[in-house]
Each structure stands twice: as structure tokens, then as C-alpha cells.
Amino acid sequence: MPLLFIVIGVLGGVASGLFGIGGGVIIVPALALLAGFSQEQAVGTSLAVLLPPIGLAAVVQYYRHGSVDLRGALWVAAGMFFGAWLGALLAIRAGESRMKLAFGIFMIALGVWITVAGAKGVRVQDL
């Protein structure tokens, strides 16, 4: 099992560093589908994984190249602090089946949005 966890971590880390996404997009479904975790356990474990490093190695590389806005990052982090607390409350109250459905719908909608917007060259700033 440790090897499976390491592979999940590497894939989540690569996705984080490459796309700037939270590794949870990879980690949560991998823990649920491959490691047999419940949805709630997968989310909680993903948050525990991401809490200490939060992509520190990738941030250092981007910062060295002048690609990190620290002020913006701090404001987003403050929002995430509150948002993660609120999201956890909602997730725990929603239950397993609703969380799986909500996560699946979110991933499909995100994929469609990125695909359509990317194909058209549309940026959020242009909307």
C-alpha cells in the first residue's frame, strides 16, 4: 500500500506543479477509487497531505522566475482558510453519496469549461 500512496502523491504533485491545481483533484479520486477510501476519508486525507507542503517546492521555482504574486497569494490563502472550513462543514453534512455526485459533476463541469474556453481562446478576464 505505501507504493500506491507514493504513486498517488507523485501524480498529485506533478499535476500541482504543472497545472497549478490543488493536488486534491488527483488525490481524492485516486484514494477513493484505488485505495478504497470513503469520499469523506479521501477528502480529509487529501487536506492532511496538502496542509504542510502546499506545493512549496513548486512555489520556490515559480518565485525564482518572478511568477508569484505574494500579495495575491496571501489574500487567496485567507479566502481559502475560510472557504475550506465552510466546505468541510457542508461536505460532512451532505453525506457520502451526495459528495461523490457533487464531486463528479464539478469535475465534468470544470473539464467542459476548460476545454471549451481553451479551444476558443477565451480568458475569464475577457468575459
Per domain, the residue ranges of the chain are 2-126
Closest C-alpha among 77, 1, 88 to residue 46: 88
**Under 8 Å between Cβ of 43 and 92:** no
Burial class (CB in 10 A: 0-12, 13-18, 19+), 51: exposed
pLDDT tens-digit profile of 83-107?
A: 878 888 888 898 889 988 988 898 8
Burial class (CB in 10 A: 0-12, 13-18, 19+), 27: buried
- State residue 85's pLDDT score: 85
From the DSSP assignment, how many helices (H) and strands (E) are in the chain? 6, 0
- State residue 51's pLDDT score: 64
**Under 8 Å between Cβ of 3 and 25:** no
- State residue 11's pLDDT score: 83
**Under 8 Å between Cβ of 28 and 103:** yes
Euclidean distance between CA atoms 80 and 87, whole angstroms = 10
Residues (pLDDT < 50) of the chain are none
Q: Which residues contact 99 (CB under 8 A, 6 or more apart)?
A: 39, 40, 43, 91
- State residue 108's pLDDT score: 92
